Structure 1
């Protein structure tokens, strides 16, 4: 019995976010985007799309550090003003929360950026000729 290959996720904001969350290939929809926690596979094992041609860089990491950092600082100030805990509570709470938040969201951010680059045909150092 032959099964149909997975379909590529639909283009659009929510579809792209779900595809990044699941690590789906932007071309065929297989779960082949990542080889590790936040490391891209060299290419899709199902359709052969070369992920090395995409330039995700450090953009998602820097962006997430600012977002998570802002949230953690806001929460730390609120906890300090509302509860006045001992000093040792702050490092105990906020360092792991910041690390887990940034690393946890890094996979989604990198995947989303790669999917958006694929959808918009953006490549490093390549100009698309106009017809």
Structure 2
């Protein structure tokens, strides 16, 4: 089954934190709390449960990037310890907080597009 032509991509919906069906309605009711439904098309967001996936992906990606840059800077410039603390911790915090919303929205859009649901006994094929 193909999606309608006007449906936004999951990446675009995620980056803009918009509804995965119409691409216009708001996805969030708070910083990370999902709204009950889309305020434009009425899509019920109860299907969405990204759990800890967004936090894991964000902490891993941002951590690898910031620590790699930090390690290179320490070897190349040998900055004082106070400067390392003053730059690395804010970079980790800003990177994680800045990317958590769009990554969570992207995973919700992927769940919608692929009709993901919790596995159960009915999903196991018997031979």
Fold-level match, TM-score > 0.5? yes
* Whole-angstrom CA distance in 2 between matches of 1:80 and 1:19: 38
- Number of matched pairs: 117
- 3-state SS of the aligned residue for 2:25? coil
* Whole-angstrom CA distance in 2 between matches of 1:91 and 1:52: 41
- What is the aligned counterpart of 1:110 among 101, 104, 109? 104
- What is the aligned counterpart of 1:91 among 75, 85, 93? 85
CA contact (8 A) 1:8 1:30 kept: no
* Whole-angstrom CA distance in 1 between matches of 2:25 and 2:101: 13
Residue 48, structure 1, aligned to residue 42, structure 2: yes
For structure 2, the 5+ residue unaligned runs are 1-5
* Whole-angstrom CA distance in 2 between matches of 1:62 and 1:83: 31
Q: TM-score, normalised by structure 2?
A: 0.83
Residue 69, structure 1, aligned to residue 63, structure 2: yes
Describe the superposition over 1:42-100 as per-residue Cα deviations: whole angstroms up to 9, x where unpaired: 11112221212211111110111111111111111111111111101111001111111
Which one scores higher on RCO, CA 8 angstroms, separation ≥ 6? 2
For structure 1, the 5+ residue unaligned runs are 1-6, 10-14
Runs of 4+ displaced beyond 4 Å: 125-128
* Residue aligning to 2:3: none
The two structures, once aligned, show a CA RMSD in angstroms of 1.7
CA contact (8 A) 2:24 2:40 kept: yes
